[in-house]
Amino acid sequence: MSDAKLDKSFNHAAAEPRLYARWEEAGDFACHPESPAPGYCIVIPPPNVTGSLHIGHALDNTLQDILIRWRRMQGRDALWQPGTDHAGIATQMVVERLLGAQGVKRRDIGREKFLEHVWNWKAESGGTITRQLRRLGASLDWQRERFTMDEGLSEAVREVFVTLARQGLIYRDRRLVNWDPVFQTAISDLEVESREVKGSLWYIRYPVAEEPGRFITVATTRPETMLADTGVAVHPDDERYRDLVGRHVILPITGRRVPIVADSYSDPEKGTGAVKITPAHDFNDFEVGRRHGLGMPSMLDPEGRVTLAEIAPEAELVEGIADPARLAEFDGVDRFAARKGIVAELERLELLEKVEPHTHAVPHGDRSGVPIEPRLTMQWYADAATLAQPAIAAVESGRTQFVPKQWENTFFAWMRDIQPWCVSRQLWWGHQIPAWYGPDGEAFVERTEAEAYAAAEAHYGRRVELQRDEDVLDTWFSSALWPFSTLGWPAQTPALAKYYPTDVLVTGFDIIFFWVARMMMMGLHFMGEVPFRTVYIHGLVRDEKGQKMSKSKGNVMDPLELVDEYGADAVRFTLAALAGPGRDVKMGKARIEGYRAFRTKLWNAARFAEMNGIRPDPAWDPASATLPLSRWILDAANNALAEADAALEAFRFDEYAAATYRFVWNTFCDWFLELAKPALNQPDSPEAAELRGAAQHVLGTILRLLHPVMPFVTTELWEHFGYGSDGDLIRAPWPQPAAVAGADEARAELDWVVRLIAELRAVRAEVNVPPSVTTPLLVRDAAPESLARAARWIEPIRRMGRVTEIRPLEGEMPKGVAQAVLGEATLILPLAEVIDLGAERARLATARDKAEAEARKVEQKLANADFVARAKPEVVEENRERLAALRAEGERLAAAIARIG
RNA sequence: GGGCGCGUAGCUCAGCGGUAGAGCAUCGCCUUGACAUGGCGGGGGUCACAGGUUCAAUCCCUGUCGCGCCCACCA
């Protein structure tokens, strides 16, 4: 126990950095792979290296830290694996913008130089988020920090890519991809988001080649793509167009002849029932084009500008329809300008039938925010459908479980219909694809350049020059390996053996597809076992009105500002308390203030303990407790512990928070300490000695119970008091239930005392008796046991119930009394001077009516033969007892009213 | 179009067959020797609506309405 007294309040701003630094320096977060203690592992969802801590991180990491600290205290060798993600597009974007501000363009300085800039940026600014995680109190094992592009993880990436390629699970293919014209790279389906756009539906008349003067009208939202049309499709059963199938149209502007084909893709209900087919610029059209062997020319370059390279050669002059000279004017024109130009040209040609306003969903790049373009390019794909099978099976069999369980449906739905995963990106920042091409384009996928040359030499029979693939891998490719690459794979390290499969993954639903699914696939494929036993999915953090936080709305809460203002413990407790299953977290300042008050309450309870000489006594044995009050609080602490454990086992962070809050505030502070005060005020009494023993024991339990969620204040108190001699709270053993004798009797006794005091308080408050007025408590009809109890608890009752003495009512009923019924007894407070008898009569009448009404309800229930016959016997018995109690209470209240006169 | 979730006190949410709960807000009283970042007491709810199952429904089932999200479609 420190000599200095506890300050009047907890100075979180000073204490938190001090305590965190000490934990880190002492190695308190470190795991010990060689130790015999059973492992427990959580890998952090690696934040983007460009990131800064937002409230979502704060939630995610608070929950992880609670689990890690709890398990660590339980004696598990806990590893919380830290690290950051290189975040391909995001990081490249940041550095490009910085260079851009200095007038430097990426392509001007070249790949090597650019990457140098990125690494420099990372060295300077990449540590922001990990510093911020420390402010939260996150007990990550920083010695093991990894980065998705550090050497070990890069080796894992190459190993995985090469292995999958050898197994035929990674391959090159030329097909349509989602192309982002801003970043000029392919992106995966998941990186595309639909946005509602108010556009138009243009109806274009295509002249039928074989029948001059006849037209077929197509409707389109993208008129500019007509430059690359290679057909028009109608439904085979569509009477309107049956005779046209097999004929051709002459495309306006380009003058190309393209066939009219019958394909059931065409929906007679939509548009005109005839649809233009542009295989190189639309996913559905691509399929139609394939089925009918249509050409697939492209008309947009990587930046989204019109290019005539693949279409102009076919352009021919057709009077009144097409003119190669006009077509040439579109070369190099941006896609949006081209749309206007094409429409204008169609209008001029009188081939634009009409334009309708049309709202539709348009795919946009989630990073760039611009409409993506389907483009026909050669890319690397992973065979996700094959890799998904074991992952689906693992969740079906329960080897990995989602919490809450309904997310499994989401997982299954996506996995069962999974598309090939485009893993190549036309970026510079990322893992460069380990593929080298020979002069004829033959690809050699190898771990190193030397191996690629060796393979090429074997293939060609001579040494040839190779070109390395310029592309890098999707960022999620390396994150997919995170649970095993961070543990040392492909090396077989002790950490890998001990901590894989990891225990829990804590994350938001938004990356189930991006990340969780892919970790499942890769983990099962390369480790032969699931990457984690449980996936805990939490909600989104919203503002107090339930709005999504966004910069544009200006409702963003900065977790670091909250930590500054309220302290990390209060922020963490709030997040945990609000983290109900399947619910978004609505974060409001009022809530945080409330939990800061809770922290203060704990602090003040500790101050009280200190003032009363309550100090750690490891030798004190709970089994030695003889007083009902100490037995009762020890038993209640056992219950709180059991609730907390059950809640944490079930990932019910909200219940864990609620159970500890209730116990500390409503049980320990409001009742135990108050009831103990009279005895503690006689410090030399044996009662005081025992209560100090119980109090120090329970306070120690409280500090440990709360440590996972409030690590700072609990540690500060733990050390101030000097609990534990061999290290601090972070590694203190998790509490075990204390063996308590006579718990049932103690509970019955304390329940009665609590009810008595509550009755006294309620009566006094309701008849407006000021606390300064004290009275004797007269008791009528009390059983001897009640009188004995009252005598045992006289001091706390006097203090908390504002009574001077307790005695049975003898002789005449005094005038002007307030009364209350407690069990068999009637409590009488003579208050002749102050009482408003009318108010008292009304109060008693209300209580009587309530008891009688309740009794009637129960009576009715018991009168129902079906209820008595079919309900569980204990329920029937309960109701009978309740009826008797209610009737007795009503009668006693009625008698009390009668006595007033 | 398919799927998931949610409608419980003014607000935010627990509860999920057998007597409606918490925090905050609100009202009244109280500066009592841990704590006014506090103490004590009170008011406030036809548990969205309509059917059904059951001795008994806020809780289970069906439907309706309202809100949110995900996926798909995107002529």
Given A788, A820, A835, the domain boundary residue is A835
Residues 207-246, chain A, CB closer than 7 Å to nucleic strand B: 219-221
Q: What backbone phi and psi angles, to 5 degrees, belong to A249?
A: -115, 155
Residues 497-536, chain A, CB closer than 7 Å to nucleic strand B: 509-510, 513
Q: Does nucleic acid strand B have an atom less than 7 angstroms from the CB of A83?
A: no
Distance A329 CA to B53 C1' (A): 74
In this structure, the answer to whether residues A321 and A344 fall within a common structural domain is yes
- Encoded amino acid at A569, one letter: D
The pairs formed by A859-862 with CB atoms below 8 angstroms and a separation of 24 or more are A859/A883
Please tell me which residue lies nearest to nucleotide B56, judged from CA to C1': A867
DSSP for residue A200: E
Distance A107 CA to B33 C1' (A): 75
In this structure, the answer to whether residues A735 and A843 fall within a common structural domain is no
Q: Does nucleic acid strand B have an atom less than 7 angstroms from the CB of A841?
A: no
Q: Does nucleic acid strand B have an atom less than 7 angstroms from the CB of A201?
A: yes
In this structure, the answer to whether residues A807 and A779 fall within a common structural domain is yes
Residues 845-864, chain A, CB closer than 7 Å to nucleic strand B: 854, 861, 864
Burial string for A603-626 (b: 16+ CB within 10 Å, else e) reads: bebbbbbbebebebeeebebeebe
Q: Does nucleic acid strand B have an atom less than 7 angstroms from the CB of A325?
A: no
Contact A164, A526 (CB under 8 A): no
User: Among all strands, which nt has the closest C1' to A763 (CA)?
Assistant: B41
Distance A846 CA to B25 C1' (A): 27
Residues 390-409, chain A, CB closer than 7 Å to nucleic strand B: 406, 409
Q: Is A570 within the bounds of a domain?
A: yes
Residues 441-470, chain A, CB closer than 7 Å to nucleic strand B: none
Give me the pLDDT at residue A2, please: 59
CA–CA separation, A367 vs A370, rounded Å?
8
User: Among all strands, which nt has the closest C1' to A857 (CA)?
Assistant: B19
User: Among all strands, which nt has the closest C1' to A540 (CA)?
Assistant: B69
Distance A444 CA to B48 C1' (A): 64
Residues 540-579, chain A, CB closer than 7 Å to nucleic strand B: 544-546, 548, 578
In this structure, the answer to whether residues A633 and A773 fall within a common structural domain is no
User: Among all strands, which nt has the closest C1' to A764 (CA)?
Assistant: B41
Q: What is the three-class DSSP state of A403?
A: strand
Q: Does nucleic acid strand B have an atom less than 7 angstroms from the CB of A13?
A: no
CA–CA separation, A321 vs A326, rounded Å?
11
In this structure, the answer to whether residues A810 and A685 fall within a common structural domain is no
Give me the pLDDT at residue A733, please: 94
User: Among all strands, which nt has the closest C1' to A610 (CA)?
Assistant: B34
Give me the pLDDT at residue A190, please: 86
In this structure, the answer to whether residues A696 and A589 fall within a common structural domain is yes
Q: Is A118 within the bounds of a domain?
A: no
CA A557, A560, A565, A568 torsion: positive or negative? Answer: positive
Q: What is the three-class DSSP state of A380?
A: strand
Distance A656 CA to B9 C1' (A): 24
Q: Does nucleic acid strand B have an atom less than 7 angstroms from the CB of A650?
A: no
CB atoms within 10 A of CB A475: 27
Distance A579 CA to B67 C1' (A): 20
Please tell me which residue lies nearest to nucleotide B15, judged from CA to C1': A655
Give me the pLDDT at residue A725, please: 63
Give the burial class of A350: count Cβ atoms within 10 A of its Cβ; 0-12 exposed, 13-18 middle, 19 or more buried: exposed
CA–CA separation, A531 vs A637, rounded Å?
37
Give me the pLDDT at residue A111, please: 92
User: Among all strands, which nt has the closest C1' to A548 (CA)?
Assistant: B68
Q: Does nucleic acid strand B have an atom less than 7 angstroms from the CB of A766?
A: yes
User: Among all strands, which nt has the closest C1' to A363 (CA)?
Assistant: B74
CA A268, A271, A277, A282 torsion: positive or negative? Answer: negative
Here the CATH number for the domain that contains residue A199 is 3.90.740.10
Q: Is A95 within the bounds of a domain?
A: no
Distance A406 CA to B64 C1' (A): 25
CA–CA separation, A33 vs A69, rounded Å?
17
**pLDDT tens readout for residues A162-173:** 999 999 999 999
In this structure, the answer to whether residues A236 and A356 fall within a common structural domain is yes
Q: What backbone phi and psi angles, to 5 degrees, belong to A389?
A: -55, -50
CB atoms within 10 A of CB A45: 21
**pLDDT tens readout for residues A204-241:** 999 888 888 888 899 898 999 999 899 999 888 888 88
Distance A872 CA to B18 C1' (A): 9
Intervals of chain A under pLDDT 50: none
Distance A365 CA to B53 C1' (A): 51
Q: Does nucleic acid strand B have an atom less than 7 angstroms from the CB of A596?
A: yes
Structural domain containing residue A820: 748-835
Q: Is A462 within the bounds of a domain?
A: no
Q: Does nucleic acid strand B have an atom less than 7 angstroms from the CB of A613?
A: no
User: Among all strands, which nt has the closest C1' to A266 (CA)?
Assistant: B75
Residues 350-369, chain A, CB closer than 7 Å to nucleic strand B: 358, 360-363
Given A726, A741, A756, the domain boundary residue is A741
CA–CA separation, A191 vs A198, rounded Å?
22
Here the CATH number for the domain that contains residue A614 is 1.10.730.10
Token pair 């809530």 is found at A591
Distance A765 CA to B41 C1' (A): 5
In this structure, the answer to whether residues A239 and A277 fall within a common structural domain is yes
In this structure, the answer to whether residues A688 and A805 fall within a common structural domain is no
Distance A853 CA to B45 C1' (A): 18
Q: What is the pTM of this model?
A: 0.93
Q: Does nucleic acid strand B have an atom less than 7 angstroms from the CB of A274?
A: yes
Give me the pLDDT at residue A75, please: 96
Contact A306, A297 (CB under 8 A): no
What's the total number of domains in chain A? 4
Q: Is A57 within the bounds of a domain?
A: no
Of A648, A661, A635, A643, which is closest to residue A737 (Cα–Cα)?
A: A635
Residues 409-428, chain A, CB closer than 7 Å to nucleic strand B: 409-410, 413-414
Distance A48 CA to B48 C1' (A): 43
Please tell me which residue lies nearest to nucleotide B17, judged from CA to C1': A871
ipTM over 0.90: yes
Give me the pLDDT at residue A877, please: 92
Q: Does nucleic acid strand B have an atom less than 7 angstroms from the CB of A871?
A: yes
Q: Six-digit token pair at A894?
A: 């009625």
In this structure, the answer to whether residues A816 and A703 fall within a common structural domain is no
Give me the pLDDT at residue A169, please: 95
Q: Which nucleotides of B are covered by protein (CB under 7 A)?
A: 3-6, 11-15, 18-19, 22-25, 28-32, 34-35, 37-42, 54-56, 69-75
Q: Is A304 within the bounds of a domain?
A: yes
Of A853, A856, A840, A838, which is closest to residue A896 (Cα–Cα)?
A: A840
User: Among all strands, which nt has the closest C1' to A194 (CA)?
Assistant: B74
A553 annotated ligand binder: no
Contact A156, A482 (CB under 8 A): no
In this structure, the answer to whether residues A623 and A736 fall within a common structural domain is yes
Please tell me which residue lies nearest to nucleotide B25, judged from CA to C1': A590
Q: Does nucleic acid strand B have an atom less than 7 angstroms from the CB of A866?
A: yes
Give the burial class of A727: count Cβ atoms within 10 A of its Cβ; 0-12 exposed, 13-18 middle, 19 or more buried: exposed
Q: Is A878 within the bounds of a domain?
A: yes
Q: Is A48 within the bounds of a domain?
A: no
Given A741, A761, A783, the domain boundary residue is A741
In this structure, the answer to whether residues A242 and A363 fall within a common structural domain is yes
CA–CA separation, A429 vs A115, rounded Å?
7
C-alpha distance from residue A9 to each of A258, A492, A603, A809 (Å): 82, 50, 7, 47
